[in-house]
Structure 1
């Protein structure tokens, strides 16, 4: 549903900005690549959550920012420095603090779920880094990625999940908000970032996501503030600062 919202809005934006002709000129392999990235990541992520405890699986899946930092060193135009790696590790530690709050021990019975979570991290990091190779492809192509992901989600849902519709106005508005933001606009701006921005710094800074989401829950009165949020924020900020310093040195070199 969220991908359908994102795809519909993307089509409206692309149509009104005169970009539909650009979509016709995008090679099929790019559409296949982008769809595998978006749909594959989410299919693996939700499958992992069904087979393993959410906190532990979520932490493994959250290796993708660190993998982006490490994989970016393989790009011909990028220079990977020690500060990027250290910053990525510190950022991961910060994410671990907040993701594993109240989690139990890692269970051997959940190994299939952990494996899917790791594949999930590989999928998103690979999609992000390889997108750099498609810098000339317009960001409007993400519209097709979203529409294709929405279509593919239907048979997957019918095969593996029980249909539960959003409950009440709040449920439907939440779905709409997800389609507009985290499962919508975020993919378009992420495409711009990985193609044109500082990909190492982008990877480390991505660890701010669990902190921001927890902070939103605190502001909404759903979660309580605590030491974990403060410590995670400090670690992730430190990691991002180290990565930013390393990026500045790379530009000066």
Structure 2
């Protein structure tokens, strides 16, 4: 797979993650850890079926470092994210969470030795500005009681950025192994659900949403992201990741879950401008 094709694979993951918020809303009132466990179980099972059909079962036989990286990234991010939403105002926590695209770009230099340059840095700064404008808020940052939640939000941003960037250092680990990481994440999320939540029986609508989640945003997306991070351009993907909250908001509006505002339009312009700057930067 060429770097260009791998970058397009990463873009496919971003496109699927744009549907995460809408599909998550459709799973209500199923609690979040239960949603995570079921979604990852479906995604992991579908991935495993493909792996077995291709005769690549040996891809699951990885060393401790690969398993720690995969499970730490997938489960660690989601555990910290749910903790942040539980302990801090969700608007401000979500904004801190969306530092991960910026961190991916910045960490690409010291960890991978990739050149950044002013054009890329300006692009990612515009993307974050668009995200901050879209998410809005800010008053919640003044609440000292929310500090543990804010630290968890920063932690999940750092975990996902490190997981994404260091995936390139584990280029020998085949993408098929992600199926095992998803199933392990499902098991851990299921355990956390039993400890902290009460089971809610999903109805037909919830099962449909859970199936789509498992097939897409918490399934195929992680396989595509792995390809993008290992063989594509993480700097470009990190910058374009700021399109996810904008696209997610537009999908919610289209589904009748909100209304178009000047913030959405301005955020779209900032993200598009930042993406254009990053996409047209020198490839070196």
- TM bracket, shorter-chain basis: over 0.9
1:183 to 218, 222, 229: 218
> CA 1:209/1:76 → structure 2, altered by over 3 Å: closer, same or farther?
closer
Matched, 1:60 2:100: no
Shifted more, 46-55 versus 69-78: the winner is 69-78
> What are the within-5 Å matches in structure 2 for residues 82-97 of structure 1?
82-97=118-133
- For 1:36-75, list aligned pairs within 5 A: 36-75=72-111
Task: Please tell me whether residue 16 in structure 1 is matched to residue 53 in structure 2.
Answer: yes
Aligned to 2:265: 230
Residue 163 (structure 1) shift: 2.9
Deviation, 1:22, is 2.6
Q: Higher RCO, 1 or 2 (CA under 8 Å, sep at least 6)? A: 2
**Alpha-carbon distance between aligned partners in 2 of 1:29 and 1:136, rounded to the nearest angstrom:** 12
Partner of 1:162: 198
Unpaired segments of 5 or more residues in structure 1? none
* RMSD (CA atoms): 1.4
Aligned to 1:199: 234
Give the TM-score of the pair, scaled to structure 2.
Answer: 0.83
Deviation (angstroms), 1:232: 0.8
Unpaired segments ≥5 residues, structure 2 = 1-37
Equivalent residue for 2:186?
150
Is the Cα contact below 8 Å between 2:246 and 2:268 reproduced in 1?
yes
Q: Deviations over 1:80-115 (max 9, x none)?
A: 212222211110111111122x67432221111000
User: C-alpha distance in 1, partners of 2:153/2:111?
Assistant: 25
Q: Tell whether the 8 Å contact from 2:89 to 2:140 is kept in structure 1 after alignment.
A: no
CA offsets per residue over residues 130-175 of structure 1, 9 Å max, x none?
0010112110010011000011112212222333333x32222111
Q: Following TM superposition, where does structure 1 have runs of at least 4 consecutive aligned residues deviating by more than 4 angstroms?
A: none
Equivalenced residue count is 246
- TM score, norm. by length of structure 1: 0.93
